A and B are shown apart, each in its own frame.
Chain A
Amino acid sequence: MTTPAISADFSERLAAIIDIHKDREGPLLPILHDIQAEWGYIPEEAQPQIAAALGLTRAEVHGVVSFYHDFRDHPSGRHVLRLCLAEACQSVGADALADQVRAALGIDFHETTPDGRLTLEPVFCLGLCACGPSAQMGDRLLVRANLAKVQKLVAEAGA
């Protein structure tokens, strides 16, 4: 196994998270959510420990982690801006908006601003199809989005 040596602190904190959920039915996803909340991403080093605790293998844990786009394999910026690129939003100009936002922020999808404040991600449907294009940052949803509205959202969040 090529996993680098991991610190005792990390391992202890991880064990604590696993313990909280271990006896639930379907403990893996809640554990992964807590890990992402704790470290901002799912460190690969965590996967063997989760696997051992749940009677799984690390391949299986990796399969689950990689299946969900929301689980990250590296830390995101402080804020994550999601632009919907699903069909309904595309039909009302989501692609053009995406181009404008990328140009304005100077980053592409999946990238983070150099100051580490903002990560840009595509999302496929936020369920707001009647009033696209839509976007999301943290708990806030944005409808009938345009560049100005997006920039305001970003500025308000201090990102």
Chain B
Amino acid sequence: MKDFIIPDRDYGTPAAKSDVTVNLLVDGIAVSVPSGTSVMRAAAVAGISVPKLCATDHVSAFGSCRLCVVQIEGMRGTPASCTTPVAEGMVVHTQTDDIARIRKGVMELYISDHPLDCLTCAANGDCELQDMAGAVGLREVRYEPGANHFARRDAEGPNPEYRPKDQSNPYFTFDPAKCIVCSRCVRACEEVQGTFALTIEGRGFDSRVSAGMFSDSFLSSDCVSCGACVQVCPTATLIENKVIEIGTPEHIVKTTCAYCGVGCSFDAHMRGEEVVRMVPSKDGKANRGHSCVKGRFAWGYATHQDRQLNPMIREKITDPWQVVTWDQALDFAATRMRKAQADHGVDSVGVITSSRCTNEETYLVQKLARAVLGTNNTDTCARVCHSPTGYGLRTTFGTSAGTHDFDSVEETDLALVIGANPTDGHPVFASRLRKRLRQGAGLIVLDPREIDLLKTPHMGQGLHLPLRPGTNVAVLTSIAQVIVAEKLYDEEFIKTRCDWDEFLAYAEFLLDPRHSPEEVEKLSGVPADGIRAAARAYASAPRASIYYGLGVTEHSQGSTTVMSIANLAMMTGNIGVPGTGVNPLRGQNNVQGSCDMGSFPHEYPGYRHVSDKATRELYERVWGVPLSPEPGLRIPNMFDEALAGRFRGLYCQGEDIVQSDPDTRHVTSALSSMEIVIVQDLFLNETSNYAHVFLPGSSFLEKDGTFTNAERRINMVRRAMTPKNGFEDWQVTQMLANRMGANWTYTHPSEIMSEIALTTPSFAGVSYDLLDREGSVQWPCNEKAPLGTPLMHVDGFVRGKGHFIHTEYVATEERSGPRFPLLLTTGRILSQYNVGAQTRRTDNLVWHPEDILEIHPSDAENRGVRDGDLVRVASRSGETTLRALLTERVAPGVVYTTFHHPTTQANVVTTDNSDWATNCPEFKVTAVQVSPSNGPSEWQEEYGHHSEQSRRILPAAAE
């Protein structure tokens, strides 16, 4: 879908929320708007554009530019329309002779301190100052040249007021010479992003935009490069480097970001098939016009030189790659898969779907396993992140998904954030939460680290419960005990929505002294008072919400933790109303979707068990083949079976299991033992080092499809450019399936979605037409909810009665001891994403060039480790080396790192412990020892060598 650029209408000031409607007359046009709306916005609603420079509907009105003045009958003078609220019966004139004179005078002043290099300016054609000069009919500037901020030199030498461009940020340039000091950037940084990195320094003629303090640059300041300032800048003062390089875009393709589970809507501003910039869509229902550094700027990987565009094969994983035709590669892959099945049985092969690919692509890959290979051996990377969410929420509430939409955060009175670091992992959601925190909502953080959310500027005091990794269940159960003991629960809610007797049994379980805050303090290190304070705050807030991340799920008790979270929400009645709920923050863009699409070995799309006869018969009818009623292998089981010689072939789409799965050595030996490993990816990732077939993948910019975000929102992904590898990923899967005897004839992903809607009740109403019309919908979307379901469990739980599960704390087997006295926990950083395959191939490296080990200064001192030293981290599984950062952000006894860089391979250290219910690996707790080091570990050297060898590519054979 291509549009000509019509910039999203800017109404000048944000929409007002009110039940009262006000009627007024603007330039003779009658208009009705909610009370509290500005005169400027009311005029815009009437289709009248009032000239403006400092106003934009991204931020609240400021009233500084004086260009938007109007005349209002019965009112003295010329009020600014942006700061004047409408009143009943108001009669507004936006164009009179007096106003025209004032506006011209104001524009003359602006232009007197602005370089008139419009023709060569990067914002030429996209500049509001230019537009306004035109709108007010500016024809001359009467001021003599004088003191100014733009000329490098004046008659007497260098101009002391001139400051050079700040090009420290890799993605945008700040040119103070073009600044009109409208403060839009400062206000966007504060109101939209919530970082407060910018300010106006000085006063009067000396006023300038400053990032951080005088000595700071944009890069050294608190700036997180979200792009909000660039987006609102009316001139070329803050502008994307790509626009400087390329020029203005000529059409827009609306699509969805392919990074985290927030699922931001973006407008891809294109010139031909080249992306000029990605701008967050104001009508995006997840992001409401905001973005983070990844989605906004870090898309250059899609055209990175490392990208492999040709299919390749090799006999053995020690051989160099041989570039071949698609036919050769697909034949080779199909023949080997079928041979493995002939030699070792139908169930000796399997597939891994990707949480980064579209729903349609995921659906096809699991269909390939079930309908073509004839096995339920399909799994997805959600196994290693949010599978406990699926299990836990399904058991307690009845659906494997979060309960609320992101808009709901605007109404919450208290947010309990557990095992998540939203400012880094889900930045756009974090900005929305921070906005609410600044408005006075409370914050409780349950996390081993003091995360940045706790340092939100202009927030009240947050409560931090710094627990020892692995003790989530103990602390949450203790919080529940306090709620029960102090009778803070919502009896009416429990009686109507859950089973009262079941609750009483759970209460009895909770009241056992072993769950008391004092006992749990001994286990978890969280002060008993903190547990009590958290319980009281959560239970007494009128609307309390829970947001959690992988710090909840990636534990041996991940599913139990999810259920204890659900219990808290149920016993306090925090479900079914905006501002409440239980909301997992999904790691990858389409984790929710890949789970929905039947990627798991025991479930068809829509979470229906493979042993369910009716569902199986439905798919047998639609797919026209008999299907197996036996659940297949989970990812860890595939590895175990491979090492036992019984699992011989794997088709892995868009996931780097070598880097992202725990206990790397176990994974690589399993892969090395297989006969056929097919990797489909943009890059020769770490897993491809163990592959026999490489099928080049396509980026999100090159295909049509849908992603489903953490709030169950199905968002459209639209093709902005031709796939550089020749095919969209679903086409590749279809070709592979057809080589193995299928007869698939999909010509467009919309046909795949039709099949999904036909066979999956919760998707029954979904179609591309609907998505085009509505922008996005949240499942369930069917006859009962034709436009989707923003809030779930409103009148009753999906499963009927909410189910209280007893949540006994069982300590993980992974315990610190004399040999491994520290607990390692892992996570993410803002500028990098997952295994880094994408973000490492962008300028985001300036923020995070390598993985760093965070260690408390006292632990470091005991070990003779200084800040910046190379250290060795060893566990029972393996060891690696990386640099240390001394910080009190982690408690003594805890160390922390990220897993973005393959040279570090943090997962060499992690163990194969996993969640009891879903096998989700225990990434978040590994007992380790840290010691000073001189260089890379033996594993790193060995792996580096293997990696180098296995990435050799021979050119295609001459014809």
Contacts and interface: CB of A to CB of B under 8 A. Distances in A.
Nearest to A57: B196
Interface stretch (B13-21, B205-213, B444-452, B602-610): B205-213
Bin the interface of chain B by size.
20 to 34
A57 B438 CA distance: 14
Interface stretch (B215-223, B659-667, B756-764, B846-854): B215-223
B199 A62 contact: yes
A47 interface: yes
Interface string B192-210: 0001111111110000001
Nearest to B222: A57
A73 interface: yes
B459 interface: yes
A2 B457 contact: no
A46 B198 CA distance: 18
Contacts of A55: 457-459
A1 B168 CA distance: 13
B198 A59 contact: yes
B4 interface: no
Contact of B197 (A44, A48, A59, A73): A59
A57 B457 contact: yes
A3 B213 CA distance: 10
Interface string B211-235: 1111110001110000000000000
B199 A63 contact: yes
Contact of A62 (B201, B457, B458): B201
B212 A62 contact: yes
Interface string A43-71: 01001100000011111111100110100
A44 B216 CA distance: 11
A56 B213 contact: no
B51 to A, nearest CB: 28
Contacts of A57: 195-197, 222, 457
SS of B interface (majority): loop
Contacts of B458: 55-56
A62 B213 contact: yes
B196 A59 contact: yes
Given A2-B220, A59-B222, A44 B198 contact: no
A57 B212 CA distance: 8
A66 B216 contact: no
Nearest to B217: A2
A60 B196 contact: yes
Interface in B445-492: 457-459
Nearest to A61: B213
A63 B213 CA distance: 8
Contacts of B212: 1, 58-59, 62
User: Which one of A59, A60, A66, A67 has the greatest number of beta carbons of chain B within 10 Å?
Assistant: A59
A66 to B, nearest CB: 4
Contact of B203 (A3, A44, A62, A67): A67
**Nearest 4 pairs between A and B by C-beta?**
A63-B199, A66-B201, A57-B196, A59-B199
Interface of B: 195-203, 210-216, 220-222, 457-459
12 contacts: A1-B216, A3-B215, A48-B213, A57-B197, A58-B213, A59-B210, A59-B222, A61-B213, A62-B213, A63-B200, A66-B201, A69-B203
Given A63-B200, A66-B203, 16 more contacts: A1-B216, A2-B220, A55-B457, A55-B458, A57-B196, A58-B216, A58-B221, A59-B210, A59-B221, A60-B457, A61-B213, A62-B201, A62-B210, A62-B212, A62-B214, A66-B202
